[in-house]
Amino acid sequence: VISRTLSVPLLEAAGGAYLQRRGLLGAIFLVFVSMTLLHAAQGVLAEIRLSGGWQDGNLSVHAEVADDRGLGNVTFYILDEVGDVLWMEKRSVSGTRASLTFLWPVGMWRVSNGTHFAEPVLVSNSGDPGVSGSQLMAYYAPCLLGLSPKAQEISTLAYFDGTGRFHTLIDLSGKEYYRSPEMLRIENPRATFGSYAGSGSALQEGLSSLRFVWLNREKGMNTFPALLLNRSPIQRYALSLERIAAGPGPFLVEIEAEDQEGNKAVGSSGPWVPELNLTA
């Protein structure tokens, strides 16, 4: 078990330089990784203890996290041998101590538009189970939206339900660019999707595109080639999220704990190699 703390000045410098260099990508980086790093404050905080093992082909990781200032979020990462994030799961916790178990199904995320795909895409679980419609927003993936081929790209989050169906696209200011038929029905039961597709959706079939993101814990963020939205809005542009096998490994586990003040600490464990299940 390794536990380390983050140096705030170094992170601020790295994040600032990254923002200068990457522009929009930096904005996403801000949301998903750097924002918390830039806000990472002041010193050493959480104590993280990890243990884990293979169970029925899944990697089970148990984390004991403690922080006297009060815990906020705990994020679980799976990295491949070059540091690319294959899996990410975020949980909200409270109190000064937490005992958490994460189960990784040796998978990673692929986003497809029906003809092309990108993997491993940075995806996070989301949503408050108590909020209406949250089951349609179980996962989100950061992406850059191009409304048309020459338009300036917009940082957005694409939301998917638990089965990988695309439901909404929202930018960082909260502006919505797409609403699925199910989402429309929840928000306005009397609305017809035909009228919404004709005037309500900002996306242009055959012109708009999304560039999804992959994250390397050392090198930062990058984007995949654009996926063109060339299907109908009623087909959700054929955009889907799919969990696929992660490969043979080895893999590294990282647990990032964030306290109520935004301070962060990271614990890591590995390498982990999936057990071979050889049967006659």
Partner 1 sequence: LSSLEVELATQEWRFLLSAIAFALLLCASGSCRYYQVSEGETGWTTGLRESGNVSLSLYGLAIGAGDYYRFTEADYNEVRVRERISASDGTLDTKERLLIEADVTEDVEVELEKKPGGQDYTLTVNESWPVAMYSQRSLDFMGKGIYNRDSFGNNLDFVAASFQRVADLKSERTCLQSLENAWFELQLNNTTKAVYVDRFMPNKTIEYDLYSLFEGEATFSYGQSDGRIPISESEERYAGRFQLQRGLLMSSLGRNFTQYDDYWLECCPLQQKNPFLVSEGD
Residues of the shown chain interacting with partner 1 in the complex, contacts defined by CB under 8 A: 114-115, 181, 192-194, 197, 230-235, 238
In angstroms, give the least distance from the CB of 235 to partner 1.
5
Closer of 99 and 115 to partner 1 (Cβ): 115
In angstroms, give the least distance from the CB of 122 to partner 1.
27
Closer of 208 and 268 to partner 1 (Cβ): 208
Size of the chain, expressed as the number of residues it contains: 280
In angstroms, give the least distance from the CB of 20 to partner 1.
41
Return the HEC string of 24-72.
Answer: HHHHHHHHHHHHHHHCCCCCCCCEEEEEEEEECCEEEEEEEEECCCCEE
In angstroms, give the least distance from the CB of 197 to partner 1.
6
Q: Where are the beta strands (DSSP E) in the chain?
A: 2-5, 47-55, 58-66, 71-79, 85-92, 97-104, 107-112, 117-118, 124-125, 139-146, 154-160, 166-171, 176-179, 209-216, 220-223, 227-228, 240-245, 251-259, 264-272
In angstroms, give the least distance from the CB of 256 to partner 1.
39
Closer of 144 and 203 to partner 1 (Cβ): 203
CB 229 within 8 A of CB 203: yes
Closer of 120 and 233 to partner 1 (Cβ): 233
Closer of 114 and 262 to partner 1 (Cβ): 114
